[in-house]
Structure 1
Amino acid sequence: MGKLFDEIDAKLASWIEAQPLWFVATAPLAAGGHVNVSPRGHDTLSVLGPHRVAWVDYTGSGVETIAHLRENGRICLMFTSFDGRPRIVRLHGKGSVVLPGDAGFDEVVSLHPNNPSTRAVIAVDVTRISDSCGWGVPTMDVREERDLIRLHAEKKGPAGMDEYRRQKNSLSIDGLPGL
């Protein structure tokens, strides 16, 4: 059994924010619904306090995280060390969707590089923090960030991105409301 933490302290916050790749998992309430696990990267995540994190959510081909959070709020973030000391940290909590114009959106977005693909901020009130060994996780080197999501959004422009979100982000794969 791994270690449980009372809060995200400065040392843990620094480690979390240094991870170039992390994962978010959500699920609908329906037993037949699809569990979703998505990789995240880029400079998008901020530790906002001892029990709160948030990230800038870019437009994607789906809207599962947003749809699941709107339905039930359950979320788990997993951070894994791929270099140095093996480690896995999970943040369980209650997530919420913060849209442009909502309180808190500009605050989180301002902490990160501007990206025309930004569609929301996902905020998480963390209720459980744990770590485990990660001994079975391989070590890997990160070569570079992909810039495709920004280039795609720039090519489409604001109106094209709005249309893309209407087509691809209005419903989850299980038919839950998205954007």
Structure 2
Amino acid sequence: MGKFYESIPPNLIKWIEAQQMFWVATAPLSGDGHVNVSPKGLRGSLHVVDENQVWYEDMTGSGSEAAAHLREPGNGRITLMFSAFDSTPRILRLFGQGTVHEFGTPEYEERLPQGVRRPGSRSAIVVDIHKVGTSCGFGVPLYNFIAHRPMLLDFAAMLESRDREVETASGDTSADAGSPPPTSDKGLKAYWRKENMKSIDGLPALTSAPVSSVTPIHAPPDGSWGKKDKDKSMAASTSVKQEQVAVKSAGIAGSGLNNQEVMRLVLAFSMGLAVAAVYVQLAGVVC
């Protein structure tokens, strides 16, 4: 049975922080607008401030729906959902109001300075919680966690390096005067301008990050991205595929044996019917 609380139960905070992923749901105020649900799966991206506030590092993606919905005047609604895939089943939802602090703002820098910020980080989204809901989660399948995919951070690191290369090559110092530094046409800020300025319903999303005077600089690889982790992820993926092939092969082999047994039974049943039919015919003739 589901239960509701006005804040996060203290005994569930560590459980929240231990989850490998969570989902974020937002929606525009318009009745015909698009509801958005996004998975967030980078370890360490979520931070529990206290029982009524959390925030997460919002990474660059192909869209920016949450930021647009949270910034819509009169809106700000957001729900975070966590689900247990192993051990005791559980679903937990955090209902609240969200605030977006974009890359390059003091509020963002306070939470994600250069030594902490990861590649592609575009904002810090703070959620003030007014209701917490828990439910059984009995319908959620059991899964084994293997690894986080490093591709998102690798891709973003490449985009950021292009912006830094252009700035370094130009010798531009306009950033000191508060003007945006030169950027690459194929860099991170160009990607933000192309993909993250509006929601699919046309609401403003990122506004200051794409034109900020700060050049994106991220913390060094920490085992969650980079070539080493990429190789590890590929090895894990290969291992999973091999296991799947082995299971499938075993299933096919098992299915083949069952089919043979079924064929034998069908053949025996058919022969039995044939014998019975002959017997009935002979019996009929005798009669």
TM-score range, shorter chain: over 0.9
- 8 Å contact kept, 2:6–2:130: no
The alignment's C-alpha RMSD in Å is 1.5
Among 115, 127, 134, the alignment partner of 2:137 is: 134
1:100 maps to what in 2? 103
* Greater relative contact order (Cα < 8 A, sep 6+): 1
- TM-score (norm. length: structure 1): 0.94
1:51 maps to what in 2? 52
- TM-score (norm. length: structure 2): 0.59
Q: CA deviation at 1:103?
A: 4.3
1:70 maps to what in 2? 71
Unaligned 5+ runs, structure 2:
164-182, 207-287
As a proportion of its length, which structure holds more strand?
A: 1
2:16 maps to what in 1? 16
2:61 maps to what in 1? 60
Alignment length (residue pairs): 178
SS of match in other structure, 2:122: strand
- 8 Å contact kept, 2:196–2:205: yes
Q: CA deviation at 1:113?
A: 5.1
Residues 1:164 and 2:191 are matched in the alignment = yes
Q: CA deviation at 1:7?
A: 1.9
Separation (CA, whole Å) in 1 of partners of 2:95 and 2:10: 18
Q: CA deviation at 1:8?
A: 2.0
As a proportion of its length, which structure holds more helix?
A: 2
Among 79, 84, 87, the alignment partner of 2:87 is: 84
Q: CA deviation at 1:102?
A: 3.3
1:174 maps to what in 2? 201
SS of match in other structure, 1:138: coil
Q: Percent identity?
A: 46
Deviations along 1:83-135, whole A, 9 cap, x unmatched? 0000000000100101234343234326x953121000000000100100000
Q: CA deviation at 1:154?
A: 1.6
Q: Which runs of 4+ in 1 moved over 3 A?
A: 101-104
